[in-house]
Structures are given as C-alpha cells and as structure tokens.
Structure 1
Amino acid sequence: MRTFIIAAALALTALSAQAAEPIEGKWKTASGATAEIAPCGGAFCVTLRSGKHNGKQIGKMDGSGDSYSGEITDPENDKTYSGSGTVSGNSLKMKGCVLAVLCKSQTWTRL
C-alpha cells in the first residue's frame, strides 16, 4: 500500500510539472478570429488560426502565472508594439503600446 501511495504522489508531481501555463490555448479575439497561444522557443507564440490572417504569427510573450509581456503585431498593418497579456479565468486582456504611452487593449475569451 505504501508503495502505491508513493507512486501516486510521484505521478501527480510529474503531471503538475507538465501543467500548461494559463495563457496557453485557443482564444477568441476581439475581431472574432481564433488565436492559439503555445510554447515556442522558451516563450509563447500567438498565432491566428482562423479569419483573414489565418496562420500568421502575431506575437511572442514571456512570463508565467497570470502576467506575460513581449511583442504583439497588428495583422492589419504589420506594425509591432510592446505587448502584455493578463489572464483572469477565461479572459485574456491583451495590451499593445507605442512608447509605453499610447496603448490599446482588447479582451479575448478562452475557447
């Protein structure tokens, strides 16, 4: 019995070590497109998976927990901004800024 408990504890520890970050997954953007956020090269890449710009990578962020930062690109004009993302439950607030003064925000919803 003791061996079983130890094995179960080790299995749970391994699963929690592999748990996805809250930002990972598919999100519905403000425009209605689907964006997928997945690990890539030590960060998290934001790639559109539907809509007019399907397949286009529009961001790359670092972080963990509920706070991430990096770059985000507007797919309409290909301009890249300093970006941040904050996860709260099934919502992701994405923010892009020019010179940390002029900022725009969108809230995405987890699919």
Structure 2
Amino acid sequence: MKRIATLILFSLFAASPALADPIEGLWRTAPDDHGDVGYIRVGTCGASYCGVLERAENAKGEAIQPDTLGRKIVWNLTHSSATEYKGRIYAPDRDKEYMSKLELSDNRISVNGCVLGGLICRNGGQWTRVQ
C-alpha cells in the first residue's frame, strides 16, 4: 500500500510541469511608442509570475539590442481572477513603472498599467502568444 501511495505521489509531481499556468510562455508585445516590439518570457518567480525581455525588433522586424534585454518587464504577477493578473510592469519606451493588470483570453493578453493609485493609466495593447 505504501508503495502505491509513493508511486501516485511521484506521478503527480512528475506531471506538474505539464500543468503550467496559462500565462507562462513567450509573448510578443504590441508595438511601443517607437514601433518596437519585445518578446517577453513569462514564468514563475517564487510564488508569483514575472516576465523578462528575451529579444526585441524594430518596426521593420529587424533584431535590435536595447539595454533592457534581460530585464524584468512584468513582475509580482498574481491571479486576481481566473483570467486576470495584477502586478507591476515596466515600459521601456517611457522608462516608467506602472501597477499592471493583464487579462488573458486564449492566446492574447490585454495589458494595462496605472500610476498614482489608478488616476493615470496607459493601455499597453495586446500581447500575442508565440510559444
């Protein structure tokens, strides 16, 4: 009986990577104020989720090397509902941090950020799942 319980427990833990949160993956951002897009890799960061700028392209689709490569763009993301996440977001084009709300719908994320307790907000557009 102990052996069966151990096997069941082991199989549950072994299967856990297949049960990733829907927000995890590689996302292509909407174009910023300069027409550049970023590719954000979202994964777990302790008890929350964060996303790092993995690569970027200019408006012509050419690879660019901004100084923000490797920087966390979103962090402290936690579920506020089944499809909504709240946390922090950094906008490289404006060099500003915002409180963020990301709403997941299929393979798209609607991104919004606010400052001053929600008095000034910015629509970050739609991110599209790449992976």
TM range (shorter): 0.7 to 0.9
- Going from structure 1 to structure 2, the CA distance change for 1:48 and 1:17 (only over 3 Å counts) comes to closer
Gaps of 5+ in 2: 1-6, 32-36, 57-65
The answer to whether the Cα contact below 8 Å between 1:22 and 1:65 also exists between their aligned partners in 2 is no
Residues 1:40 and 2:59 aligned together: no
Unaligned runs of 5+ in 1: 1-6
Residue 4 of structure 1 corresponds to none
User: How far apart in 1 are the matches of 2:44 and 2:11?
Assistant: 23
SS in 1 for 2:128: strand
Task: Check whether the contact 1:70–1:82 (CA below 8 A) recurs between aligned residues.
Answer: yes
The RMSD of aligned alpha carbons is 2.4
**Which runs of structure 2 are paired with 1:96-111 in the superposition (5 Å)?**
96-98=113-115, 99-105=117-123, 106-111=125-130
Seen in structure 2, the aligned counterparts of structure 1 residues 18 and 42 have a Cα distance that, compared at 3 Å, is farther
Equivalenced residue count is 104
Aligned to 2:78: 62
- Looking at structure 2, the residues matched to 67 and 59 of structure 1 have their Cα atoms a distance apart, in angstroms, of 14
Tell me by how many angstroms 1:103 deviates: 1.4
Is the alpha carbon distance of 1:56 and 1:15 closer, same or farther for their aligned partners in structure 2, counting shifts above 3 Å? Answer: same
Of stretches 44-53 and 56-65 in structure 1, the one that deviates more from structure 2 is 56-65
SS at 2:15's partner residue?
A: helix
Identical counterparts, % of pairs: 33
- TM-score, length of structure 1 as denominator length: 0.79
SS at match of 1:33: strand
